[in-house]
């Protein structure tokens, strides 16, 4: 089926990140060994609730202060927690601009309110997307069904008419199970090749 809309992941596809940069700043301000603090920070129950929007950044910060013994006020936590993002975009703006000329662009990201706000303020990437599907707003994380259903509904096209790229294999696999034509992101040249194979004539846009 002809591609009618393009779906993109955010982290490690559009914006690069280095988790250690944020961990260094946070771990330096807690009374636990870094390994133990990282376990608290990434506790599956809490991080999932946070990125599904069940709890706010303030509530997550309170949890880290209590259980991770983080000695940091909320404003500084916002800044340190967002230090993971590296400057610039992975996919060039000129490519996003060319794709936007002909296709609706939809962002599908597992993220939280703190990171979404930081990226909106510091990167131009959201300007290129018609719809942002954030896990903390739809209450579902990739690779769960509900977030893909939200993306399909936002596109207003059949799943088979959507092209999706994500850096994680499990997210690509799930998208394919739901009928979406999906590509695992490795590099921009490979993405361009995959788009071309799916009938998106990038070089002529």
Give the tens place of pLDDT for each residue, 94-137.
Answer: 999 999 999 999 999 999 999 999 999 999 999 999 999 999 99
With a cut of 70, say whether residue 205 has pLDDT above it: no
Mean predicted lDDT score pLDDT of the chain: 96
* Contact by Cβ (8 Å): 106, 7: yes
CA distance 187 to 196: 14
Mean local confidence (pLDDT), 56-61: 97
pLDDT band at 202 (very low <50, low <70, confident <90, very high): confident
According to the model, what pLDDT value does residue 90 have?
A: 98
Percent of the chain with pLDDT over 70: 99
Dihedral through CA 96, CA 101, CA 104, CA 106, nearest 10?
10
Percent of the chain with pLDDT over 90: 97
* Contact by Cβ (8 Å): 162, 155: yes
With a cut of 70, say whether residue 10 has pLDDT above it: yes
Mean local confidence (pLDDT), 45-55: 97
- 3-class SS shares of the chain: helix, strand, coil, % to 5: 50, 15, 35
Residue 158 phi, psi dihedral angles, 5° rounding: -60, 150
Strand partners, 131: 106
pLDDT band at 203 (very low <50, low <70, confident <90, very high): confident
pLDDT band at 66 (very low <50, low <70, confident <90, very high): very high
Q: What is the pLDDT of residues 150-186, one digit of tens each?
A: 999 999 999 999 999 999 999 999 999 999 999 999 9
pLDDT band at 30 (very low <50, low <70, confident <90, very high): very high
Confidence (pTM): 0.95
């Amino acid at each position: 089926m002809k591609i009618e809309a393009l779906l993109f992941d955010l982290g490690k596809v559009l914006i690069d990140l280095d988790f250690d940069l944020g961990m260094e700043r946070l771990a330096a301000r807690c009374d636990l060994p870094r390994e133990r603090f990282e376990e608290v920070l990434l506790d599956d129950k809490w991080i999932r609730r946070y990125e599904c929007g069940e709890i706010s950044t303030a509530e997550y910060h309170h949890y880290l202060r209590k259980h991770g013994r983080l000695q940091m006020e909320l404003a500084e936590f916002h800044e340190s927690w967002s230090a993971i993002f590296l400057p610039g975009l992975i996919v060039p703006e000129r490519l996003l601009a060319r794709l936007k000329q002909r296709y609706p662009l939809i962002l599908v990201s597992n993220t939280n309110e703190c990171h979404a706000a930081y990226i909106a303020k510091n990167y131009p990437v959201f300007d290129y997307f018609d719809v942002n599907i954030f896990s903390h707003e739809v209450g579902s994380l990739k690779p769960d069904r509900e977030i893909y259903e939200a993306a399909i509904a936002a596109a207003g096209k059949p799943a088979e008419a959507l092209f999706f790229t994500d850096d994680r294999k499990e997210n690509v696999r799930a998208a394919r199970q739901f009928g979406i034509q999906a590509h695992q992101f490795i590099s921009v040249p490979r993405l361009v090749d995959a788009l071309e194979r799916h009938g998106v004539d990038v070089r002529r846009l």
